[in-house]
């Protein structure tokens, strides 16, 4: 089991590196695929889909994610939020006109699932296409992974004060502080290492 997970993890990292380096349509299509896959998991776990049967609410979520990504890639930024709002309006219309087929929880799961995977993951693409994005995009992964790792290590070593005992009993205040400081330190080290090559670096200002 461990060997399988290790190999699959290595393959996924290689694919992530390749798509981010390629950028453009390759990265866009990859992120759309990942977002749709993650969205399917969210709505299935959130009770939007029952017994694997596709429904209108699910389809709207998929279509809204694709439309949002296309707006991000090919339209001015003023069209990005309207794409999300359009998805929300259609979902609410489905809720009203098919009532009581769906409940409040299903609608909220469908909408926030769309925002969580579609909008959030899109910032990988939006950062990558910025001037100097080839350097900036790695901060997303470096800081998030670094924060998790540092928070875990500090929490295990000196964590004593629970941050959210009911919601997440294993997390500590010491770990949270360690994670933030660790991410900041890694970001500073990365900036120093790439500053001479990044056109957005303060070195060039």
Average pLDDT per block of 10 residues along the chain, 205 residues long: 65 82 91 92 74 76 94 92 91 89 87 92 92 87 89 89 85 92 92 74 51
Q: What is the pLDDT of residue 201?
A: 58
Q: What is the pLDDT of residue 164?
A: 84
- Give the span between the Cα atoms of 196 and 114, in whole angstroms: 38
Please choose, from the candidates 119, 156, 124, 121, the residue with its C-alpha nearest in 3D space to the C-alpha of residue 138: 124
- Give the span between the Cα atoms of 85 and 83, in whole angstroms: 6
């Amino acid at each position: 089991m461990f060997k399988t997970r290790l190999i699959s993890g290595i393959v996924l990292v290689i694919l992530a590196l390749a798509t981010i380096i390629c950028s453009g349509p390759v990265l866009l299509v990859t992120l759309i695929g990942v977002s749709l896959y993650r969205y399917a998991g969210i709505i299935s776990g959130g009770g939007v889909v029952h017994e694997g049967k596709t429904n209108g609410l699910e389809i709207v979520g998929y279509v809204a994610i694709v439309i949002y990504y296309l707006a991000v890639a090919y339209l001015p930024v003023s069209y990005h939020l309207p794409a999300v709002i359009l998805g929300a309006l259609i979902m609410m219309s489905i809720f009203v006109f098919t009532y009581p087929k769906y409940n409040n929880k299903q609608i909220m799961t469908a909408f926030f699932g769309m925002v969580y995977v579609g909008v959030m993951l899109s910032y990988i693409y939006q950062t990558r296409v910025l001037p100097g994005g080839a350097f900036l995009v790695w901060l997303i992964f470096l800081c998030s992974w670094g924060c998790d790792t540092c928070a875990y290590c500090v929490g295990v070593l000196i964590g004593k004060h629970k941050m959210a005992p009911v919601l997440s009993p294993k997390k500590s205040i010491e770990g949270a502080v360690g994670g933030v400081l660790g991410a900041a330190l890694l970001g500073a080290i990365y900036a120093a290492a790439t500053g001479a090559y990044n056109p957005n670096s303060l070195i060039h200002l």
